[in-house]
Amino acid sequence: MNRIQDILKLNEHVRTVAIAGHVGPDGDCVGTCTALWQYLRELQSFDRLDLYLELPPKELCFLQGVSESLQEVPESFAAGKPDRKEGASPDAFDGCYDLFISCDVSDRERIAVAGELFDRARRTVVIDHHVSNLGFGDDNYIVPDASACAEVLFALFDYDRISKSIAESLYTGIIHDSGVFQYSNTTPDTMRIAARLMEKGIGFSRIIEDSFNKKTFVQQKVLGFCLEKAELFLDGRCICTGITSEEMSRLGVTKQDLEGIVSQLRYTEGVEAAVFVYSRGENLYKVSMRSNSCLDVSSVCAVFGGGGHIRAAGCNMDGPVEEVIRRVVAEIEKRL
Ligand SMILES: [Mn+2]
């Protein structure tokens, strides 16, 4: 028996399985969910093996499993659904999975699409690498030292059962969460795992180029716009910028076009903390934070009800942008 089977406690009574990632799926989320889905599909047969994913950005749609994933819970699974329709099979599936697995999800509220199904599942398993994860499943397998959840899964998989397309999913997860092996979460193990995945014959440079580096014209424009608006605080140790919903619609950008802006801010000389604020709706803003060497941004975000990693975290706050930045900078100042 391999380790993933141990952790999932797979046996003949586990007939229905759901896998889900987090809201706003990134490379690690889509990589791990599709890797686990492919792995389990090859491992044994289930009555149902369903993958729930918010529609990922198009550069991640090449991963195998994305096109089979569900973007919403089927209506017939709805909780409290009155008696089954006449003529329906008496054992028609009711949405109560034997096993529900979340990958790369730091807390229950962040499960995308299928959160209600998590609550109704007979058993839940959480596989993750977020430091802030308190373990919200019946069984929790959390490795905070791993650069990506994909690293965690790799260690649980039987190497011989990792196909080329599973390797592509895992590799995508690692390069996205480690910034192609440059963030401080990258370890010798990260490199060793990447090497083992390369041995599966994956198109690693194409994956980096197409899923990580490539930007659309509008993404380049909005990056320039936000850099132009950026301001320094705390004697140049903190850089902040933001974009309102009016500016977003004027430039024709969606939230997926804003990926990578906060990382670019972080590269500013002399800066320890980078803060990027963007509109998520009426007076509601998403705050993304990065730090370079000493600040724990997950603790800053926790003050505002968010979380994440030491060097990368986020939270939601009420606007306006200037006020959000003022409050965040005040909190960062206490820690610098
Ligand atoms: Mn991750």
- For ligand 1, a single-atom ion, which residues have Cβ within 5 Å? 28, 104, 149, 177
Tell me what the mean pLDDT of segment 108-131 comes to. Answer: 96
Q: What percent of the chain has pLDDT over 90?
A: 89
36 Cα to the center of ligand 1, angstroms: 14
Whole-angstrom distance, CA of residue 121 vs CA of residue 99: 6
Query: Please, what are the domains in the chain?
Result: 3-212 (3.90.1640.10), 218-335 (3.10.310.30)
282 Cα to the center of ligand 1, angstroms: 28
Tell me what the mean pLDDT of segment 108-129 comes to. Answer: 96
pLDDT of 2: 62
| Residues belonging to the chain | 336
129 Cα to the center of ligand 1, angstroms: 7
Beta-bridge partner residues of 290: 274, 312
Instruction: Evaluate if residue 1 carries a pLDDT over 60.
Output: no
149 Cα to the center of ligand 1, angstroms: 5
Instruction: Evaluate if residue 134 carries a pLDDT over 80.
Output: yes
150 Cα to the center of ligand 1, angstroms: 7
28 Cα to the center of ligand 1, angstroms: 5
231 Cα to the center of ligand 1, angstroms: 29
pLDDT of 84: 46
Instruction: Evaluate if residue 216 carries a pLDDT over 50.
Output: yes
Q: How do residues 266-282 score in pLDDT, each as one tens digit?
A: 999 999 999 999 999 98
Instruction: Evaluate if residue 201 carries a pLDDT over 60.
Output: yes
pLDDT of 100: 98
Average pLDDT taken over every residue of the chain = 94
pLDDT-derived band at 92 (thresholds 50, 70, 90) equals confident
DSSP 241-288: EEE-HHHHHHHT--GGGGTTHHHHHHTSTT-SEEEEEEEEETTEEEEE
177 Cα to the center of ligand 1, angstroms: 6
pLDDT of 87: 54
Instruction: Evaluate if residue 242 carries a pLDDT over 80.
Output: yes
